[in-house]
Amino acid sequence: MAKSDVVVLGAGIVGVSVALHLQARGRSVVLLEKSGIGEGTSFGNAGLIERASVVPYSFPRDLLDLARYALNHNVDAHYDPLFAPKIAPWLARFWYYSSPQRLAKISAELLPLIQNSLSEHKALIEPAGLQHLMREVGWIEVFRKESSHQKAIAEAKEIYAPHGLKFDVLDAAGLKAREPYVSDVVVGGVHWLDPASILDPSALVKGYAALFERRGGTLATGDARSLDVTGGGYRFVTDTGPAEAAEAVIALGPWANDVYEPLGYDFPLAVKRGYHMHYKPVGNAVLNHTLLDVDKGFLLATMNRGVRLTTGVEFADRDAPPTPVQLERAEPIAKELFPLGEHVDPEPWMGRRPCLPDMKPVIGPAPKHKGLWFAFGHNHHGLTLGPVTGRLLAEMMTGAEPFTDPTPYRADRF
């Protein structure tokens, strides 16, 4: 029977990063994936390494916003009415943690991860030979209403500037200079300069996995639900037979509960579903930066495959059939902003974001099992936080001094 020091369950950006960091610290690692490296949640996202997101996405507290969302006609948020009673308790906890005082504390606790997110990616991108996938041009919020533009400018100066984040305030002419093909429906923007963007997130994860394999790591195909606790560690099944590891890491994103629940753990893990579609630009149109249309609630990103239109969040059962209503609503509005042409994809892609109500991931040891570790629940920032999560968890697992206090991410905080 094959044996290793660690089995990492899940080959998305978080799992692959954990495997690489453990490997760099001398551990023999098996990376177990059922359906393809970087093909799950890591496949479809905005492609941003969001160094500027020092405040996580929180629950809206304005009564007018809540009323608007309740009508269920929006691009940025949608819910399945039949699923609403099931998700309501989780949303109540999300609302609780989103109070200004609690949100400020959570932001401070997430800050060390955000601050190190880009540098930790760069530490992997260069040896993996993936520099061609990264663009360090930041991203731009665009606004259709001057009131929302001015509100964003004030927040940038009051909330983000004190953290040393760099940004440019753009009027209509300044925005046009950076994005010549954007239409006049927008009045200006805020250009965040610190983040980087990835032209193919799935290719990035695959490239990191290839680096792991070149360095002697083992990629294995198998179902993480086969994990079983043994007297000396953990047993699991691969397509070549059973295997054992002294320790195990659950890095399965929205599917983490499929493994931790049978082991006796209960986390308030919810899923925010989302969709994307790629388009060919019309004529010679070029999109130079990732654009977030703040007033309408969608995002456009330049990818190798075309211009990616991504939606906000959908609250529905994790495994329910896709309902790309938001994408259908967003497409005509997006075409008002930028000249999108024909579809590149045969059908919309749907993904699942693993979210906890306090907007922080779980990173650290399992309370009930020696040698079992967790790394999941990264909300909207899995791509951003994958490598820095890998570093922190590997430091904890190998007895090194963690670069930051891991207490805020502990598994027993709920």
Residue 138 pairs in a beta bridge with none
Higher pLDDT, 275 or 67: 275
Confidence of residue 44 (pLDDT cuts 50, 70, 90): confident
Q: Which residues contact 41 (CB under 8 A, 6 or more apart)?
A: 12, 253, 254, 351, 352, 353, 354, 382
* Structure token pair of residue 224: 């993480």
The residue-averaged pLDDT of 316-321 equals: 97
> Burial letters for 7-40: b for 16+ Cβ neighbours within 10 Å, e otherwise?
bbbbbbbbbbbbbbbbbbeebebbbbbbeebbbb
Of 69-78, 207-216, 341-350, the one with minimum mean pLDDT is: 69-78
The residue-averaged pLDDT of 247-265 equals: 98
Report the mean per-residue pLDDT for the chain.
96
How many CA atoms are closer than 13 Å to the CA of 194, on its beta-carbon side? 19
Give which of 306, 409, 382 is closest to 49, Cα–Cα: 382
Q: Architecture of domain 2-43+202-268+358-413 in CATH?
A: 3-Layer(bba) Sandwich (3.50)
- Residue 178 predicted with pLDDT over 90: yes
Confidence of residue 222 (pLDDT cuts 50, 70, 90): very high
Please tell me the pTM assigned to this model: 0.96
How many CA atoms are closer than 13 Å to the CA of 174, on its beta-carbon side? 13
> Which residue's structure tokens are 């239409």?
183
Of 69-78, 165-174, 266-275, 369-378, the one with minimum mean pLDDT is: 69-78
Q: Answer whether 47's CB lies under 8 Å from 276's CB.
A: no
pLDDT at 50: 95
The residue-averaged pLDDT of 84-102 equals: 96
Give which of 94, 130, 135, 133 is closest to 377, Cα–Cα: 94
Domain boundaries, the chain: 2-43+202-268+358-413, 67-88+132-198+269-354
Task: Please give, one letter per residue, the 3-state secondary structure of the chain.
Answer: CEEEEEEEECCCHHHHHHHHHHHHCCCCEEEEECCCCCCCHHHCCCCEECCCCCCCCCCCCCHHHHHHHHHCCCCCEEECCCCHHHHHHHHHHHHHHCCHHHHHHHHHHHHHHHHCHHHHHHHHHHHHCCHHHEECCCEEEEECCHHHHHHHHHHHHHHHHHHCCCEEEEEHHHHHHHCCCCCCCCCEEEEECCCEEECCHHHHHHHHHHHHHHCCCEEEECCHHHCEEECCEEEEEECCEEEEEEEEEECCHHHCHHHHHHHCCCCCCEEEEEEEEEEEECCCCCCCCEEEECCCCEEEEEECCEEEEECCEEECCCCCCCCCHHHHHHHHHHHHHCCEEEECCCCCEEEEEEECCCCCCEEEECCCCCCEEEEECCCCCHHHHHHHHHHHHHHHHCCCCCCCCCHHHCHHHC
Helix 100-115 to helix 117-128 angle, to the nearest 10 degrees?
30
Q: What's the alpha-carbon Rg for the chain, to the nearest Å?
A: 21
> Which residue's structure tokens are 């041009």?
137
Hey, what amino acid is at 38?
G
Of 30-44, 169-183, 286-300, the one with minimum mean pLDDT is: 30-44
Confidence of residue 74 (pLDDT cuts 50, 70, 90): confident
Bridge-based pairing of strands 218-221 and 29-33 is parallel
* Structure token pair of residue 162: 């004190």
pLDDT at 68: 85
The residue-averaged pLDDT of 76-85 equals: 94
Confidence of residue 139 (pLDDT cuts 50, 70, 90): very high
pLDDT digits (tens, 9 = 90+) for 94-129: 999 999 999 999 999 999 999 999 999 999 999 999
Q: Answer whether 65's CB lies under 8 Å from 332's CB.
A: no
Q: Which residues contact 31 (CB under 8 A, 6 or more apart)?
A: 7, 8, 11, 15, 16, 19, 209, 212, 217, 218, 219, 220
Question: By percentage, how much of the chain surpasses pLDDT 70?
Answer: 100
- Residue 65 predicted with pLDDT over 90: no
pLDDT digits (tens, 9 = 90+) for 269-318: 999 999 999 999 999 999 999 999 999 999 999 999 999 999 999 999 99
Confidence of residue 67 (pLDDT cuts 50, 70, 90): confident
The residue-averaged pLDDT of 249-265 equals: 98
> Which residue's structure tokens are 């963007």?
197
Give which of 109, 7, 124, 60 is closest to 386, Cα–Cα: 124
CA distance 367 to 410: 9
> Does domain 67-88+132-198+269-354 match CATH 3.30.9.10?
yes
CA distance 150 to 196: 25
